[in-house]
Structure 1
Amino acid sequence: MTTETGEVRTAPSTAPGIMSGTFLWITIGACALVFLGAFESLAVTTVMPVVSDDLGGERLYALAFAGPLATGVIGMVAAGNWADRRGPTAPLYTSVIAFVAGLLIAGLAPSMEALVAGRFVQGLGSGAMMVALYVVVARVYPQDKHPAIFAAFAAAWVVPSLIGPTIAAVVTDLWSWHWVFLGVVVLALAALLMVVPALRGLSGGGDATAPWALGRLGWSVLAAVAVLALNLVGDIPGVGPVLAAVAVVVALVAVRPLVPTGTLRARRGLPSVILVRGLVAGAFFGTQVYVPYLLTDRYALSPTLAGLALTGGALAWSAASTVQGRMGTRLSNALALRIGTALVLIGIALVLAIAAFRWDALVIAVAWVVAGSGMGLMSPRSSVLTLSLSTPVNQGFNSAAMTVADSFGSAMVLAITGTLFAALATTADPFTAVFALTGVIAAVAVILAPRVAVVRTREEAGA
């Protein structure tokens, strides 16, 4: 049945839970792939100073992080188009192979240039892998199981933030940084083997007669280049802000064909789901990057203590994801999205107040628990909404749009806040300025959140 807001509700499925019966191994394998992608991202952040020192790669340090984010956009679009035409099986296999190849190149890299090249390939595979997994969810799990599996995905993203940096540091100390990359290779292949049985028979379901969207692939390359440039040009003295502004315009033009029509105009329904998701991701991660910086710079806390604020947010994210998964259809997707975006705004507003009025540092931990709870609530439900508003022939495109929104939104906001922080570092309070900007972005998301629901006419409701 369809509600007046356009949300589809189905009778409870008689299928077993996601951790039992036929879903057990596909759930474990898919969550393991998500976990490994997140772990590698956080682990590299921890060991990159050691890598840079070992390989003499200070000049390419920033590119080692910006590169995977940029190439990931290309992988997302390619995998989405491929899945719409042929189903998710081949894109998933290929993306995992690319992810593993990138790990091998980086882990065996004799120079920083080779490591960055490996990171490019790794990002391409990681971005494609997430899109393929979303399409697998749409094809394998009944709709009423989607909140639970996306909650599991969210938890798989959060757990590495708790253990990833520590494991990476221990591996580096005991052996070398090379094994932070190479050690994941075997685990990724093992995870892929777990999902193979469930992938049999999923090669169809798309529109094999549809042409390859070469135009979208071209736009994704342009968007990736613009995002990459935006991460690199902001610090150029004098012309940095101008070049950054040009990169923003180019990136926005390029991203339009990669998301549903009307996304940048906040058209009601799926376009607004995608836009709100991108705005919230940008606001949250744009703030999170500077939270430990604020605590270590202004409050003179150790990096370990500063990191506890982020740990609290990660735990809250995981807990909220679990709660919404258990609530299922008792909590509507649209309402969960609205509550989640509001909580993210409240958390960022508290961080802004702490920076502006120099409140006690302990309040930051509370603020980030609130913001993390909002992400745990809205992120899985925006995924559920995206799939519920998709059809078998556009699940790949819409799943790609969702992940593009995450990466694109985060990259854009991080680059802009980086430029802003550098510009104000010696003349004003850069922390207050950054948190004010991310707060405005979060507020826009809250204003637009009600537009995720599709309002149906009386005639349509009675049809």
Structure 2
Amino acid sequence: MTAPKTLDAPYEPPRIFGPLYRTASLGILLVVTLIAFEGMSISTVMPAVSEALDALDLYGISISAFLIAGLFANVVAGLWSDRRGHAVPFLLGVGLFTAGMALAGAAWSKEVFIAARVVQGLGGGSAIVAIYVMIARVYAPEARPRIFAALSAAWVLPALVGPGVSGIIAGTVGWRWVFYGIVPLVVPALVMLLPALRGDGGETPAPGSGSAPGSGPRSRPLPMTLAALATAVGAGVLLAGADRLHTDPVTGGIATAAGLAALAAGLPRLLPAGSLRFGRGLPTTIMMRGVLAAAFFGVNSYIPLVLEKELGFGLAQAGIALTVGALGWSTGSYLQARREWDRALLVRLGAAAVTAGILLTGLGLVPGLTGWLMAPAWLVAGLGMGVSMPSVNVTAMRQSPDAEQGANSAALQVVDTLGSGLTIGFGGVLVNLIGHDDIATGYLTIVALMAVIGLAGAAAAGRMRDAS
């Protein structure tokens, strides 16, 4: 137990790498790092994979398959975690992710590789939600900002070295070993996490020892599973339809409408009541995760494109801005964990910083100025994400009853995936429709729209506070 605060011994939150949490923290970070490394490496090796499997269209399909499968797994894993505890969805998720990596390495056809990406998405989506629940149930509340900061940092190293390392591996021993190489690293992560999975790694009660399964509408297995399926399929159909709007407006329009209908049927059931109208407290907290992801990643994905195609940067140079953004994100995550904050205020400031960074990237296209201005601009945006995203996670776990931690962890992942996936997809539509021959115009249109989303998030962040 933590010591009470006294005049002689000021209270300090338990350290996430101290004796109490060390093995759980290392295991969690290793799993997240492996998932992040795979995510950062896939774009580097996809040209080689597409060539080897004779499938030039494999890139987009494989990314979509991973995201959609992960979205479905988010909900099922959250439901299971609330009803039976986080151990099974975590172990199953890690097992599926590992099996998917092995299958991708062994893939002998396009269809097998896509199936492998689906398996990876199911595993990754399940494991991430289970990790969030594990943090809520194993770590003391005052330690959670630090472990969420560490989770953000776990994405930085793969962002920095993942593309380079995977390129070296693919160029020397072959692209298959980018996938095979991750498999044996899973074992030490599981060994370190065994105490937390047994429920004896922290100060809070283990699942099932102190909280009953939820009894609300988001605790019902069949309706939730169907809603998750409708949401995942709707997102996939919507993105596919939007992608075809510029080549086949009729078919693309029908698919887009069908996807929106499926989303409208499924998504509200996956979120706390009042989320889509930004109800005060937990509903707004959940939605802020999607708003932030939508604004940031809606621009992040197109910075290399405009730097390369409009400003003549090389691929390595264009990637520097994204690397700087990742460093800003890590720095912001570190800063938010150093003391106690008004989390709603921190999210508001973070959303404002993301908006400012988005707008500042436009300076790189002003005649007479340099495209290198996008790097410090994206540092500002990354800093905003670093202070706000962990704050959203911490607040959501604090506002969640024990029996709904899984459902709300899943909701965070669902709105994150939808927010980023939809804005990235529609950004591509805008580039094709508005700026196909003038990418700068398309990019500036994206900047304007994402800045509006960021400003809306800054305005809504105050509603994260509970009505009381």
TM-score, normalised by the number of residues in structure 2: 0.91
Tell me the distance in 1 between the aligned counterparts of 2:121 and 2:230: 16
Match among 208, 211, 218 for residue 204 of structure 1: 208
Tell me the distance in 2 between the aligned counterparts of 1:251 and 1:158: 32
Q: Does 1:383 align with 2:393?
A: yes
1:8-47 equivalence runs, <5 A: 16-47=14-45
Tell me the distance in 1 between the aligned counterparts of 2:397 and 2:213: 20
Aligned to 1:185: 183
1:430 CA drift (Å): 1.1
1:57-206 equivalence runs, <5 A: 57-201=55-199, 202-205=206-209, 206=211
Q: Does 1:402 align with 2:407?
A: no
Residues 282, 366 of structure 1: CA spacing in aligned structure 2 closer, same or farther, 3 A cutoff? same
Aligned to 1:7: none
Which runs of 5 or more structure 2 residues have no equivalent in the other structure?
Answer: 200-205
Tell me the distance in 1 between the aligned counterparts of 2:214 and 2:40: 40
Paired AA for residue 374 in structure 1: G
1:317/1:375 contact within 8 Å kept: yes
Residues 295, 346 of structure 1: CA spacing in aligned structure 2 closer, same or farther, 3 A cutoff? same
1:251 CA drift (Å): 2.0
2:14/2:143 contact within 8 Å kept: no
Deviation track 1:92-112 (CA, whole Å, cap 9, x = no partner) reads 111111111111111111011
Give secondary structure in 2 for the equivalent of 1:37: helix
Q: Which moved more, 1:336-345 or 1:235-244?
A: 235-244
1:266-345 equivalence runs, <5 A: 266-327=278-339, 329=340, 331-345=341-355
Aligned to 1:352: 362
Residues 427, 173 of structure 1: CA spacing in aligned structure 2 closer, same or farther, 3 A cutoff? closer
Give secondary structure in 1 for the equivalent of 2:243: coil
Match among 256, 259, 275 for residue 263 of structure 1: 275
Aligned to 1:218: 226
Residues 17, 424 of structure 1: CA spacing in aligned structure 2 closer, same or farther, 3 A cutoff? same
Aligned to 1:6: none
The CA RMSD measured in Å over matched residues stands at 1.9
Q: Does 1:415 align with 2:425?
A: yes
Deviation track 1:22-64 (CA, whole Å, cap 9, x = no partner) reads 2101000001111111110111111111100110111333110
Tell me the distance in 1 between the aligned counterparts of 2:67 and 2:338: 32
Tell me the distance in 1 between the aligned counterparts of 2:280 and 2:369: 39
Paired AA for residue 365 in structure 1: A
Q: Which moved more, 1:54-63 or 1:116-125?
A: 54-63
Aligned to 1:362: 372
Q: Does 1:229 align with 2:237?
A: yes
1:208 CA drift (Å): 4.6
Residues 336, 15 of structure 1: CA spacing in aligned structure 2 closer, same or farther, 3 A cutoff? closer
1:203 CA drift (Å): 4.6
Tell me the distance in 2 between the aligned counterparts of 1:152 and 1:376: 11
1:317/1:376 contact within 8 Å kept: yes
Structure with greater contact order relative to length (CA < 8 Å, sep ≥ 6): 1
TM-score, normalised by the number of residues in structure 1: 0.92
1:296/1:306 contact within 8 Å kept: yes
1:349 CA drift (Å): 1.1
1:245 CA drift (Å): 4.5
Tell me the distance in 2 between the aligned counterparts of 1:209 and 1:241: 40
Tell me the distance in 1 between the aligned counterparts of 2:94 and 2:367: 47
Give secondary structure in 2 for the equivalent of 1:266: coil
Aligned to 1:374: 384
Residues 248, 146 of structure 1: CA spacing in aligned structure 2 closer, same or farther, 3 A cutoff? same
1:175 CA drift (Å): 0.7
Tell me the distance in 2 between the aligned counterparts of 1:425 and 1:168: 32
Which runs of 5 or more structure 1 residues have no equivalent in the other structure?
Answer: 1-9, 457-463
Tell me the distance in 2 between the aligned counterparts of 1:359 and 1:443: 26
Residues 208, 391 of structure 1: CA spacing in aligned structure 2 closer, same or farther, 3 A cutoff? closer
Identity of aligned residues (%): 37
1:14 CA drift (Å): 6.1
